Amino acid sequence: MFVGKITRMAQRISRREFVKAGTAAGVAAASARPGFAQAPTVLAPKTVKPVVIASANGNKYKNGGPRSAVEEAFARMTRGEDVLDAVIAGVNIVELDPEDDSVGYGGLPNADGVVQLDSCCMHGPKKRAGGVAALEGVRTPSLVAKAVLEQTDHHLIVGQGAQDFARAMGFKIEEDLNTENSRRKWLDWKRRIDPKHYLDPAKRTEAGDRARREMVAEGLLDAEHVYGTINCDGINAKGEICGVTTTSGLSWKIPGRVGDSPILGAGLYLDGDVGAAGSTGRGEANLFNLSSYLIVEGLRRGLHPKDAGMEALKRVAANTVEKRLLNDRGHPMFDLKFYVLDRQGRHAGLAMHGGKEKSYAVCTEAGPQTLACDVLFEEADTE
């Protein structure tokens, strides 16, 4: 009788275990069905070949030193420095170089002749970010953005508040960040526009854009620096990803205008478990679509960096409907570039249009390179 009771208890236990196992299997099967929203697991190798990518100016300007931005970032990163410290040290070279008038010192000023700078940075392992916008008087806004990340509970500080914060953090505040080059170009632009600059917004925009195009056509203004920026992202051998974007913004912009560069999800976005994306080009188009965030989510779904970036370009093109922004083919007349790096160390540069200098910078153990971007539309942009 005692043995029979034990047998019946064992049967009940077995039935309970069977039901539990069946339920667990059912949940697992259901979660795998299309009706259940679940991001795929991103599998990354335990070790990654280190790589740094950047916009093309990241392998062009050296500010009189031995290395370009991507070389400096790669050298620091591979000798053990924090990835964010490394990529910021890289872009500092460009920010401080007076020959690059798209960022930092000597960046092309706003309509009033004042250099206003924007930047943001993100740290993948720490899952933290910081940014500044419309900052005046500091040559290296990327370092101020890093201070926001490290010293505050905020992601973005702007205008006078950003300058006050920088001063409090010990940064040198300069009266004027113009160089002879940036001031000469601003004066040339100013002479070309309607002298009644602010009285008619429609005429102001038309005159300002026309003067910008004329200066590009005459070779006085680099077409790549109309919307000037540098983005730089890196991944080390441990798979740690960080990134930074810094800019002087749209040349001759309305004072106080802020583009995509300091905005998380637009000028820069990353997830340390997935990858990173940054941008240069027309900030307004990028802001409207939060393209960097979209690209990283594409990487999360398993897309290759090239495919994720191309998907974002197509989204921007589909959302550009104003006639003034379209060329005779119905395509956006402005350019927009994305720089994409995934958790496996794969990378890509994407551009809205073909034409010259559609390239991006890369540095690996093989050294620095400037590679061609994949383009959505083969024709050159007409802005």
Name the residues annotated as catalytic: 229
Closest to 231 measured CA to CA, from 267, 258, 257: 267
Closest to 51 measured CA to CA, from 357, 352, 339: 339
The kind and range of the H/E element at 361 are: strand 359-364
Three-class SS state of 135: strand
10 Å CB burial of residue 26 (0-12, 13-18, 19+) is exposed
User: From residue 259, how far is each of 205, 231, 288 by CA, in Å?
Assistant: 17, 14, 10
Closest to 292 measured CA to CA, from 256, 248, 358, 336: 336
Nearest 10 degrees: Cα torsion 348, 354, 358, 363 = 30
* Inter-residue contact 336 to 285 (CB < 8 Å): yes
User: From residue 43, how far is each of 34, 46, 303 by CA, in Å?
Assistant: 20, 9, 13
| R_g (Cα) of the chain, nearest Å | 25
Closest to 283 measured CA to CA, from 66, 134, 93, 96: 134
Q: Which residues contact 381 (CB under 8 A, 6 or more apart)?
A: 327, 332, 333, 334, 335, 352, 353, 355
Separate counts of helices (H) and strands (E) for the chain: 10, 13
